[in-house]
Structure 1
Amino acid sequence: MSERGPPSSDGAAGRYAAPALEKGLDILERLSDERRPLSLGDLADALGRTRSEIFRMVAVLEARGYIEREDADRFVIADKLFRLGLNRPRHRGLVEAALPVMRGFAESTGYSCHLAVASETQMVVIARVESVSHIGFSVRIGYRQPLALTGSGHCLLAFMNPRRRSRILVAIAAEEPLRDLETLAADLDGFRAAGRVVRASRIAESVTDVSVPILSAGENGAVAALTSPHIRMRQSPTEPDALADHVAAAARQIAETIEFD
């Protein structure tokens, strides 16, 4: 009897089908794609299954903390998968190296800062340090937005490996057919030439996104973006470009500290 080697990646799912696991993953992926809580009936309709088919799976996912209940009978995805993802050696090492530098930045400038990485066509915040002053602007860990919308996202796109950037732009075009990719690409080229992103936030009024890449050695490009939301204070004002110099110094320090793959 001949031995069979491991299945190819293309045929693995078909050869080793695991219906229960696939059902659970379908539920998680559907909830992740939605911007609103879904009821059991909504999930069943979206997945082409009956309520009884997914009832037990939803109950188990809720009990294990992968989904959460809102409005009594509707569900949203929890951040447990995100927390598990942060335990990847690459992300954990990045956060461990960045946090002391980020704390020093916050203490010396009075501004908050956060660290973001690319996740498919989105940026996700994996670390943050609050401002030490009484007034400031910050975002939470796990915060997600499209790469094409945020300063952190533009920074990641502008400085990432060109091949990866091309793939992501194709995916962005598929998700957002009305997005002007030529204008976006021109903006990214400008940010890359400047070595930083300094631009008005497209999410919050009176906030300027100040973002600088954390660059890996070699040709791998940006592995993360260090961002500080700028708000101009009347007392002891700091201008965005001056803050960007501090962000750039912190980003270089992080890059020098971490051991990249």
Structure 2
Amino acid sequence: MDADDADRYRAPALDKGLDILELLAGVEEGLTQAEIAKRLDRSPNEFYRMLDRLVRRGYVTKLEGDRFTLTLKLFGLSQLHAPTRRLASFATPLMRELAQRTKQANHLVVFDRGSAVVIAQHEAPDYWGLSIRVGSHISLFDTGSGHVLLAFRSEQERQMMIAEHARSREEVKLGAEFYERLAHIRECGYEMMPSAQTAGVHNLSAPVLAPDGRCIAALTCPYIPLVNAPTAPDINETIAMVMKTAGDLSALAGSNVRASE
């Protein structure tokens, strides 16, 4: 495309919005409207409406001190495409083996636009088990998967995830005890908690990690004690198997990331 064609197909408003997104993507602490204008060599008034629309559409959020920063919405949109499909594809045989060994169902969850979303699931091998439908949206705050997704992120990413979740659902007040729980999960490497939704079930969850240590998914087993299967693994043996499978999937995910770079 020559210069005349480039000028003919210009979309100034779109260019302005993309300039803001690309600028904020490289700034962790955020920027004020005046700082954005200065870095892009424009008048601050030029960006007022654009920033307002980006905030209202959930791509940008406003922090204390009138600073703007990116949300995780772009990351969430990317999860809808090939990376998530590849992750689910890699996970399927590992999840099948995990179900066979534990005698329990399991599922894989990612963070997408304010929710924890089930992207893959494997039934228990026998006639009894607890499964969650693929595509289900679950809470970040009272599920093992949600806790793991939050625990293995930076503080800034975690706050963005919580803010996005609050916009898509009823806002929840989180106290010091909740953040202490996340720190404990990060230290242990897994979550083991009674289900807040179903009596008699424990959520056993472990992170699938990118090479940089950031959680890209949570592998969860809704563990049910099986009284008719005396040789089935107990809860401690089962969480060890969940962690091993999550570690194997992390290695595959890391290899895939490096191969695509």
Q: Does 1:244 align with 2:239?
A: yes
Q: Is there any run of 5+ residues in structure 1 with no aligned partner, and where?
A: 16-25, 27-83
Q: Does 1:118 align with 2:111?
A: yes
Which one of 7, 16, 19 corresponds to residue 15 of structure 2? 7
Give the CA deviation at 1:168.
1.9
2:115·2:165 contact (CA, 8 Å) conserved in 1?
no
State the alpha-carbon separation in 2 of the partners of residues 208 and 214 from structure 1: 19
Give the CA deviation at 1:173.
5.8
1:161·1:222 contact (CA, 8 Å) conserved in 2?
no
Q: Does 1:212 align with 2:210?
A: no
1:123·1:153 contact (CA, 8 Å) conserved in 2?
yes
1:131 counterpart SS class:
coil
1:7 counterpart SS class:
helix
**Which residue type is aligned with residue 199 of structure 1?**
M
Match of 1:229 in 2: 222
1:39-50 pair list within 5 angstroms: none
Match of 1:189 in 2: 183
State the alpha-carbon separation in 2 of the partners of residues 152 and 144 from structure 1: 11
Give the CA deviation at 1:171.
4.1
**Which residue type is aligned with residue 209 of structure 1?**
N
Q: TM-score, normalised by structure 2?
A: 0.66
Give the CA deviation at 1:144.
0.8
1:46-61 pair list within 5 angstroms: none
Give the CA deviation at 1:210.
0.2
Give the CA deviation at 1:7.
2.5
1:190 counterpart SS class:
helix
Q: Is there any run of 5+ residues in structure 2 with no aligned partner, and where?
A: 21-45, 51-56, 58-76
**Which residue type is aligned with residue 8 of structure 1?**
K
State the alpha-carbon separation in 1 of the partners of residues 92 and 191 from structure 2: 21
Q: Does 1:200 align with 2:197?
A: no
State the alpha-carbon separation in 1 of the partners of residues 109 and 172 from structure 2: 25
Number of residue-to-residue matches in the alignment: 193
Match of 2:98 in 1: 105
**Which residue type is aligned with residue 130 of structure 1?**
E
Match of 2:257 in 1: 260
Give the CA deviation at 1:102.
0.5
State the alpha-carbon separation in 1 of the partners of residues 160 and 80 from structure 2: 26
2:79·2:112 contact (CA, 8 Å) conserved in 1?
no
Which one of 153, 164, 168 corresponds to residue 161 of structure 2? 168
State the alpha-carbon separation in 2 of the partners of residues 239 and 113 from structure 1: 15
- Equivalent pairs: percent with the same residue? 27
State the alpha-carbon separation in 1 of the partners of residues 129 and 200 from structure 2: 12
**Which residue type is aligned with residue 260 of structure 1?**
V
State the alpha-carbon separation in 1 of the partners of residues 245 and 125 from structure 2: 17
State the alpha-carbon separation in 1 of the partners of residues 172 and 216 from structure 2: 28
Give the CA deviation at 1:203.
0.8
Which one of 144, 169, 173 corresponds to residue 179 of structure 1? 173
Give the CA deviation at 1:242.
1.7
